[in-house]
Structure 1
Amino acid sequence: MMVHVPTMRRDRPARGDRRGLAWWLALAVCKPVLMLLRRADWRGVQRIPASGGAVLAANHVSHIDPLLVAEMVLAQRRVPRFLAKDALFGQTLVGWWFRAAGHVRVDRTAGYGAYDDAVAAALAGRLILVYPEASITRRDDGLPMPMKSGAVRIALEASVPLLPVAQWGAQSILPAYTGRLQWGRRKRVAIVVGEPIPLHDLRGLEPALAATLGRERLEHRLTTMVRQLSDEDRTSA
């Protein structure tokens, strides 16, 4: 059964969370289309901090789910800053939008410094959105693949909350690794923001060990949450 949690009212967003032209353009283009495609089932949105830095770690099932997750975050009067590979910022139109929207570069060739920009953004009060699988899942059951430690490393270095975000249903709108939107009856898209992953006991450990232990916690929690959504979808079909 779908349980829709209404969006909580929040104070006026801080300067760093003002949307700017790039986000207003994206909303103007994408929002009407999303409303034709999806029925939103958002839960736990009150766990997103009203201000200050945080890392949201989401599973990835479709090329369209960044739009759906961003829609949910924007409705909470926060602006998501996606962690994106450096090459995207060098493209003409896409690069302009990524820069104007305030997304964050990750340089995978920079070793342990790959996440320096993301840590700085989190310290500056930004909401960083990370896909720890680094790509759309290729599992037949749609559950998350093994995860990387970037989201944990950012949260540890910036001392900000790490929240798991499980989502399910976007793959019914745009199946993974295809370019064919499924029009017709609107599909239910469930997005659940979970309780923060406990990291306080990892601070002070050797960085690589802390990142590994945190990644294991995130992977277990997020996979469990996604499995619950998958089971709900199967039993309600």
Structure 2
Amino acid sequence: MPRPAMTETIEPTYSRVITALYPVLQRITVREWSGLENVPKTGGFVAACNHTSNMDHFPLAHFLVEAGRAPHYLAKDSLFKPPGVKQIMYGCGQIPVYRGTSRATSALSAAKEALQRGACVCIYPEGTITREPDFWPMTGKTGAARLALETGVPLLPIAMWGTRDIMWPYRDKLPKLLPAKLVQVSAGPPVDLDDLRDQPITATTLRTATTRLMDQITGLLEDVRGIPAPAERFDPRGHAADPTRGGKTA
């Protein structure tokens, strides 16, 4: 099946990469998707998704491409170093993150510029693969909310489930691509930030926006999994959860 037409102009390298990967992703996943109509067709927006596996990037990209949008990830700078991979990453407009260096803030500046150009920027607001024992979303970091408030773009909540069956976090070194695994992705309406957009961007404002975002992602995931999330959201600070032990698979 040919890939869907894009609703935006993208880099030639990115177009070739999408064309090459689309049929592969069609083969290795059985897809249950909902909320494609909530993905903005034009203009910049932040796509914020829960994070349960190192394989999340590909099904999330697949979902967004199906909606006609090309995702731009904030990715660790080491991925921009190997020859060949470096050219693909830059050629696809991905954004390097220089953690723990004086250049760490450059990623947010680059993300803002991409959003202002009308791009889709993908962020995992938890900042890492969840440590919650049953893989529910943890407390979120404020970067996604900050980008949305500083640029005025929509903040789109997305929930994903099933990628652990392709690559279990912190255990599997290589993905199990066949047989095809069920991957469920659901996008909700953009988070309502209207009452916050004219306010100063303070720690309180960012935390309010982030709480709304994580509430919506968690609600979407409850619908996908068919069970309620814990009443209290997991905060990794002060916990020593072991994600390799697994948890419920519902």
Give the TM-score, by structure 2 length: 0.79
CA 38–23 in structure 1, closer or farther in 2 if over 3 Å, else same: same
TM superposition shift of 1:71: 1.0
Deviations along 1:165-200, one digit per CA (max 9) or x if unpaired, are 101011112111222433554221110011110111
Separation (CA, whole Å) in 1 of partners of 2:110 and 2:177: 38
Higher helix content, 1 or 2: 1
Q: Which residue of 2 aligns with 1:21?
A: 13
Q: What value does the CA root-mean-square deviation take over the aligned residues? A: 2.6
TM superposition shift of 1:13: 3.0
Q: Is 1:75 matched with 2:75? A: no
TM superposition shift of 1:19: 4.9
Q: Which residue of 1 aligns with 2:135?
A: 142
CA 90–207 in structure 1, closer or farther in 2 if over 3 Å, else same: farther
Percent identity of equivalent pairs: 32
Contact persistence 2:187–2:220 (CA under 8 A): no
Q: Is 1:55 matched with 2:46? A: yes
Moved more, 167-176 or 88-97: 88-97
Separation (CA, whole Å) in 1 of partners of 2:52 and 2:156: 18
Q: Is 1:159 matched with 2:114? A: no
Gapped runs of 5+ residues in structure 1? 1-8
Separation (CA, whole Å) in 1 of partners of 2:206 and 2:82: 32
SS at match of 1:190: strand
CA 98–123 in structure 1, closer or farther in 2 if over 3 Å, else same: same
Give the TM-score, by structure 1 length: 0.83
TM superposition shift of 1:91: 4.1
Paired residue total = 223
1:179 to 142, 164, 173: 173
Gapped runs of 5+ residues in structure 2? 228-248
Deviations along 1:93-145, one digit per CA (max 9) or x if unpaired, are 33322211111234555577651111111111111111111211222211112
1:206 to 200, 204, 221: 200
Separation (CA, whole Å) in 2 of partners of 1:13 and 1:228: 28
Separation (CA, whole Å) in 2 of partners of 1:183 and 1:104: 27
Q: Is 1:115 matched with 2:115? A: no
